[in-house]
Structure 1
Amino acid sequence: MNKINTRIKRTLVTAGLASSVALLNAVEQPKEGVKNNPLLTHSALLFAAPDFSCIHETDYLPALKAAIQAQRKAIKRIVDNKQRPTFANTIVAYEESGRLLDHVSSVFFCLTGADKTDVIAKTEKEIIPQLTDLENEITFNAKLFSRIKYVYDRERATLKGEDRKLLDEIYKQFVRSGALLSADKKARMEQINKRIAELQQQWGTMLPDATNHAAVWVDNKDELKGLSEADIAQCRKDAERRGGKAPYCIVIVNTTQQAILTHLENRDLRRRVFEASLHRADGTGAFNTYPIVVEIAKLRAEKAELMGHKNYAAYSLERTMAKTPDNVYAFLKQLIAAYRPKAEAETRAIEDFARRSEGQDFRLQPYDRFYYSAKMKQAQYRFAEDDVKPYFNIDSVLVNGVFYAAQRAYGLTFKERKDIPTYHKDMRVFEVFDKDKRPLALWYCDYFRRPTKRGGAWMSSFSKQSKWRKQQPIIYNVCNYAKAPEGQPTLLTWDEVTTMFHEFGHALHGILSDCKYNMLSGTAVARDFVEMPSQFNEFFATVPEVFNHYARHTKTGQPMPEDLKEKMLKAINFQPAYALGENLAATCLDMAWAMLPAKNVPTAGQAAAFDREALREIGLLDVQVPPRYATSYFNHVWGGGYAAGYYSYLWTEVLADNIASCFAKRGALNPEVGQDFRKKVLSRGNTKDLMQTFTDFTGLKTPDVSALMKARGM
């Protein structure tokens, strides 16, 4: 899950609108593009869901502009209020000031990631500077902050629970954004914020274009030997969608290694695919992201220095569970020490295996690793991914797996709503009911890849749960699965199965939220906690009762045979060091850039060398185990909100493993355990200290790092 890291664009993850009618009083109507704009009128759909049947691409820009003006007026009313500042007339009023903008931007920014057409891209280019200007206006509004500070200084001691937490979050948000800086430093901070927003927008356009451009064209079907007929058909379909430069096209996905390398017998084609992936955005010309990277890195470092920190990592980590760079590195070094000897042993074993068929002179290359590792796994376990794919029909995984686990653990049920419009025909919508049959939420899924969608998988919301706003959550998941040709079932790999469970874990964090304020609800938690519910939800994919319920042959409906199931489950942790190593390498690249003072940030031409040296210094420079994301296409860091935060995937995996142990001991599908987890963790959002939230359920005072190595079979 990716987050946007500016305060105004918290609307991407804190969106909501129970009823927009009252809010529209602040919008001067009629104006061109505003009168009768469906984004600015109350939706009659369930929970006021966005009515995509009447929303047009041209509606977003005027609606966003109107919503920006609405928030400006709401902020002015707070500032001009002659009454003494109070929690109600200042803090709650501020929380509600962006409600219309929350609603409109949540819908719009969904499309910038999932269906970025030319019109949406043009709108984004125009609106980002305006949102940044609004953010700066609010952040550095001295009169507004003086009212907030007045309440913080005088009322905090008397407030309790979520009221105090809301006050704390708003006050600290302003302070971290520079509200206490001198006038000249505030002015510079405004410039930095604006430029970073512009650069991230450029990144968001360049990287998908670069990834699409990196696709590998194939002239002859013989070169695709090793692929299944379904995969070859997909390559033909992808070629047609991209203009037909050749009969077949291998699309590059977001990570460095490409799953298709597991099957390609043609070594030169494997090399071409790997190099296309690795160098998609570091070449010359239109698709070199390094100039963006180094400028963002400098600006972030300068921002941190303005705020009194040595580097961006220290600034960024201040409000996480980890707290400091030293704590993050201590955590990482524990894992690196355990990882390195196992990784070296894995590489030797794969090369030795390959030499049995290729000769003693064979030298394993990174583009060979997946291919020979898969053959080695097949020889050891008599198992291949294609053996199990027929048992992972996407519809069965969703309904009989993901939904079934949520029903057994939390009492939820799901009803498809084909009457609710979506922004793309491939999407599906489900109404979610609580254990007492009460309507609880809407959940959308957009699973299939297309050229207008960025890579990866994520969760966000059209509307967040809020008791204050009387609004129900409207949550969505986006993935990038290859859609089968018409008339054929879409079959998933095991990795794709776990991705579906993972992203639905994020969705549950939003669906089961039970908080008073929009700003605190659902996934509005620190980065090194937000991935825990999703990583934990992967646990259910292998719970025997759940697995046997969804893993059924797409043609016969028969469950996966026990011997095949046993082989697959044993093979999950085959050579586990690689997956850990690619994650550690990406994490350490992220930290290395974030630890730099502004004066030490390398030039664009030095960026690749800086990466190599950073990995060498920490002991992770290994051509056989490249970073999961190289710096030039590390969207989490340069396009999203995970700068100095990618470690959180490993950190939260530890939390998730600790929680899975609790479930395993008390009953994986025991509804009492599920309800306990729901009550103490999933429903709480950011309403209390997150370490305490973790402790409340597990009983552990600190996370047990050894659980990760055990869970990964290491």
Structure 2
Amino acid sequence: MHNPLLERSTLPFEFPDYSALEAPHYLDAVRHGVDGQLEELRAIAQNPEAPTFENTFVAMERSGALLRRALMAYWTVFSAHGTDELREIDPQLQALVSAHEDAIHLDEELFARLVSLDAAGLVGEDARLVSETLRTFRAAGAELDAESKARLRALNSEVTDLSSEYSRRLLAAMNEAALHFADAAELAGLSDGELASAADAARAAGHADGYLLTLVLPTSQPLLERLERSGSRRRLFEASLNRGLEGENQTLELASRMASLRSTRARLLGHDTHADVVLQEATAPGLDAVRARLAELIAPAVANARAEAEELEKISGSPIMPWDWAFYSAAVARERHALDTVALREYFELDAVIERGVFAAATRLYGLSFTERFDLPTYHPDVRTWEVFNEDGSTLGLFLGDYFARSTKAGGAWMNSIRESASLLGELPVVTNTLNIPKPAAGEPALVSLDEVNTLFHEFGHALHGLFSNGVYPSLAGTSVPRDFVEYPSQVNEMWALHAEVLPGYAAHTRTGDPLPDGTVEALEAAALWGEGFATTEYLSAAVLDLAWHSLTDGELVEDPLAFEQRALTEAGLIPDLVPSRYRTGYFKHIFDGGYSAGYYSYIWSEVLDADTVEWFTENGGPKRENGERFRTELLSRGNTRDPLESYEIFRGRPALIEPLLLRRGLAKEIKA
């Protein structure tokens, strides 16, 4: 079998030849890559020459080129187009990677060489590489005794297997939960285009007729805002809420077992909880600080949510139910602010939002330009590719957009890297954005909601973080920053979605070409705080649930995950029966198969920096070229080459203040910073 991954691609940007790649190629390349890197690391560890920065730390950074190439190609396609063939090999591949990471970090000879280097004379990024590498090794158990290392390897292997199985079952559960309606009357409120798309989805899923509503990953489903029949809304809401609870694709037991094993592993590593382990690598000072931040936000957020519910009940004429919240919330926006959020979709066509909105803002701020390419073999026909250029015409990298939902794609939205910009390796960045926008019927425009507009800007903020990477060493480059900092650049980029100098460029009625009606932006600004009670409460619920699962102590096993979930939320002062968590245990992919375990608090933690940064841009004239250049130079390009909070303070001129976040979330009156 000729395996294209075993050699460096000859395509531009060393782009993977996805047209030639099949599932066995990835597994074969990872096996070869693991063996090859272990051989390289063995040579480093056993080098008879005295350890130097170059022959030890830099040599490690250069190692594993084949493995890195194979994994980055695989992780991109697996999450976005995880065919049956890829899902069949995934458990083996993930097990190989987990065991390989242990083989590196638990290698006594290699670690001894690392710690023997006198790094006192190093400065800047070189010093950062040494300190971060040693911290990573120690956090992974490098200083454990032989018996404990063997136990750690077994725990890591079992957690990896459970996580892979959770991912497999969740995708199947999402597809199973897609809701079939026989009669179009049950879907009153949806547009003709949405009905046509739902009919196409039903045929694709094997139904002879009718309409199929597919699910997105969070609890709240976008169509709840538009479905006019309460019974239909309830069916959709309950299908979303009950994913993973029962049947052959139930995920609760997997989640409980994973959390228990993580708690056992934490004790082995000398910590009380898994959360304590994770927070070693965060910008937050510790678990108590995170809990305190969440606690101070919960009470006012819940109070705001209850006040919103009272307003909704005045319109509905009856107690508000969770499945009715979005529908009547849109009615409040229409009544109070003359704002029809459903009708707004006609002004947001996907291509226009991308090219005249997302890209145009990047041009205004950073001088970037974009040229679509059609010559590179993507992993799915829906994937689009753009070459990105700096203001001086030099190539910055490649950007791939994969926007439409499909049954092989994980839910949600994310950014991936196929290549990372690090000068040591001489690579240009290749980054992807993946979303789950329902694909329109043939001939229909791809309309997106205001939330999806924000998501497009958000994910492109991650892409900019990867594209602008200007470090030397790959382990410190781009988005390789602490988990509770990585969301910050993407959240900042959301500010341009409705900015007065950006919005008119892309918001035009799909059929008439008319601009947004006069007063729309003002209505959106006036309505900005409406719904923040619900939004903040559902987010805080997910953050609290994550920490509850990952604050278990050594070996504690939760027998009834649903009761545990309910108790954790209500004891924290949350109201899950009225405002459900953004994610429940059965479909909380972020924490059980997404790298956010004990880290979902990151969004609100990063939002403190984000809101303070938005204030800086506003004070300094908005999307001006010089403002973008400062943000790019001092923050976006830095990655983890220096402490991210140091980068923030250099950019901002001071530490972040919390007041802008409190004002944004409508909490300023209740909380004193």
**Is the TM value for this pair above 0.5?**
yes
Decide whether the 8 Å contact of 1:612 with 1:621 is kept in 2.
Answer: no
Q: 3-state SS of the aligned residue for 1:476?
A: strand
What SS does structure 1 have at the residue aligned with 2:206? coil
- 1:199 matched to 2:152: no
The answer for the alignment partner of 2:670 in structure 1 is: none
CA contact (8 A) 1:114 1:453 kept: yes
Once the two structures are overlaid, the 10-residue window that deviates more, 610-619 or 54-63, is: 54-63
**Given the alignment of the two structures, is residue 288 of structure 1 paired with residue 241 of structure 2, yes or no?**
no
How does 1:236-635 map onto structure 2 within 5 Å? 236-244=199-207, 246-283=209-246, 285-355=247-317, 362-603=318-559, 606-635=560-589
Tell me the equivalent position of 1:712: 665
The answer as to 2:101 corresponding to 1:135 is yes
CA shift for structure 1 position 621: 2.8
CA deviation vs aligned residue, 1:535-585 (integer Å, no higher than 9, x gap): 000001111110011111223333212223433443343221101110000
Structure 1 counterpart of 2:69, from 100, 103, 109: 103
Post-superposition Cα deviations, 1:85-116, rounded to whole Å, max 9, x if no partner, equal 22111211112222210111100111110000
Cross-structure match for 1:94: 60
- In structure 2, the residue corresponding to 1:414 is in which secondary structure? strand
Q: CA deviation at 1:261?
A: 1.2
What is residue 671 of structure 2 aligned with on the other side? none
Q: 1:636 & 1:493 partners in 2: Cα distance?
A: 23
* Segment of structure 1 superposing worse, 573-582 or 56-65: 56-65
**Aligned residue identity for 2:300:** A
| Aligned residue in 1 for 2:138 | 175
**Residue 681 of structure 1 pairs with residue 643 of structure 2:** no
Rounded to whole Å, the distance in 1 between the matches of 2:304 and 2:106 is 51
Residue 699 (str. 1) matches residue 648 (str. 2)? no
Superposition RMSD in Å: 1.4
Q: CA deviation at 1:246?
A: 4.9
- Please give the alpha-carbon distance, in whole angstroms, between the structure 1 residues aligned to 2:330 and 2:342: 11
The letter of the residue matching 1:145 is: F
1:54-203 to 2 correspondence within 5 Å?
A: 54-151=20-117, 154=118, 156-203=119-166
Q: What is the CA distance between 1:55 and its match in structure 2?
A: 2.6
Deviation at 1:339, TM superposition (A): 1.3
- Give yes or no for contact 2:316–2:328 (8 Å, CA) kept in 1: yes
Partners of 2:398 and 2:183 in 1: CA distance: 46
- Whether the aligned pair in 1 keeps the contact of 2:303 and 2:533 (CA below 8 Å) is no
Q: Partners of 2:313 and 2:284 in 1: how far apart? A: 38
Task: Say whether the 8 Å CA contact 2:365–2:627 is kept in structure 1.
Answer: yes
In the TM superposition, residue 220 of structure 1 has moved relative to its aligned partner by 1.1
The secondary structure found in structure 2 opposite 1:475 is strand
CA-CA distance at 1:296 after TM superposition: 0.8
Q: Assess if the C-alpha contact under 8 Å between 1:217 and 1:246 holds in 2.
A: no
Q: Structure 2: give runs of 5+ residues left out of the alignment.
A: 668-673
In 1, the alpha carbon distance for the partners of 2:659 and 2:527 equals 21
TM-score with structure 2 length normalisation?
0.97
Check the 8 A contact 2:279/2:286 in 1, yes or no: yes
Change (3 A) 1:42 1:310: closer
- The C-alpha deviation readout for 1:216-261, integer Å capped at 9, x for no partner, is 1111111111211111112111111111165111112101111111
**Cα distance in 2, alignment partners of residues 409 and 377 from structure 1:** 32
Letter in 1 for 2:35: Q
Find out whether 1:661 has 2:615 as its counterpart: yes
Q: Distance in 2 between matches of 1:641 and 1:634?
A: 11
**Deviation of the 1:75 alpha carbon:** 1.7
Structure 2 residue aligned with 1:30: none
Structure 2 distance, partners of 1:118, 1:230, is 30
Inter-partner Cα distance in structure 2 for 1:368 and 1:42: 54
Q: Shift in Å at residue 275 of structure 1?
A: 1.0
| d(CA) in 2 for partners of 1:55, 1:392 | 36
- Whether the 8 Å CA contact 1:322–1:328 is kept in 2: the answer is yes
Distance in 2 of aligned mates of 1:225 and 1:160: 64
In 2, distance between residues paired with 1:561 and 1:157?
A: 63
- Letter aligned with residue 607 of structure 2: E
Question: 2: CA distance between counterparts of 1:330 and 1:533?
Answer: 24
Contact 1:449 1:480 survives alignment (8 Å): yes
Measure how far apart 1:58 and its partner are. 3.6
Alignment partners' CA distance in 2, 1:177 and 1:42: 31
CA distance in 2, matches of 1:390, 1:224: 19
Kept in 1, the 8 Å contact 2:299–2:573? The answer is no
Moved over 4 A (4+): none
* Bigger Cα displacement from structure 2, 561-570 vs 327-336: 561-570
- Tell me, in whole angstroms, the C-alpha distance in 2 between the residues paired with 1:647 and 1:465: 28
Give the whole-Å Cα distance in 2 for the aligned partners of 1:602 and 1:252. 28
Q: Which residue of 2 aligns with 1:646?
A: 600
Matches of 1:242 and 1:436, distance apart in 2: 48
- Alpha-carbon distance between aligned partners in 1 of 2:492 and 2:148, rounded to the nearest angstrom: 43
Confirm whether residue 51 of structure 1 aligns to residue 17 of structure 2: yes
The question of whether the paired residues in 2 share the 8 Å contact of 1:392 and 1:491 is answered with: yes
- Following the alignment from structure 1 to structure 2, what is the Cα–Cα distance between the partners of residues 632 and 622? 15
Query: Take 1:580 and 1:685, find their aligned partners in 2: how far apart are those partners?
Result: 28
Change (3 A) 1:577 1:596: same
Whole-angstrom CA distance in 2 between matches of 1:534 and 1:455: 19
With over 3 angstroms needed to count, the CA separation of the structure-2 counterparts of 1:593 and 1:319, relative to structure 1, is same
| Cα distance between partner residues in 2 of 1:367 and 1:301 | 35
Q: Name the CA distance, whole Å, in 2 between partners of 1:42 and 1:187.
A: 35
Larger mean CA deviation between 125-134 and 675-684 belongs to 125-134
Contact 1:463 1:473 in 2 (8 A): yes
Report deviation, 1:713: 4.2
Q: CA deviation at 1:712?
A: 3.2
Residues 297 and 598, structure 1, Cα contact 8 Å, conserved in 2: no
- 1:14-53 alignment runs, 5 A limit: 33=1, 35=2, 37-53=3-19
Q: Which runs of 5+ in 1 are unaligned?
A: 1-32, 356-361
Whether the aligned pair in 2 keeps the contact of 1:339 and 1:581 (CA below 8 Å) is yes
Q: Secondary structure at the match of 2:18?
A: coil
Q: CA deviation at 1:390?
A: 1.6
C-alpha contact (below 8 Å) 1:369/1:624 kept by paired residues: no
Contact 1:590 1:644 in 2 (8 A): yes
Contact 1:218 1:246 in 2 (8 A): no
Paired residues of 2:634 and 2:651 also in contact (CA < 8 A): yes
Quote the offset at 1:685 in angstroms: 0.4
- The amino acid that maps onto 1:692 is E
Give the total of aligned pairs: 667
Whole-angstrom CA distance in 2 between matches of 1:328 and 1:484: 42
Aligned counterpart, 1:220: 183
1:209 paired to 2:172: yes
Residues of 1 paired with 2:598 and 2:27: CA distance?
33
CA shift, 1:599, in A, is 4.1
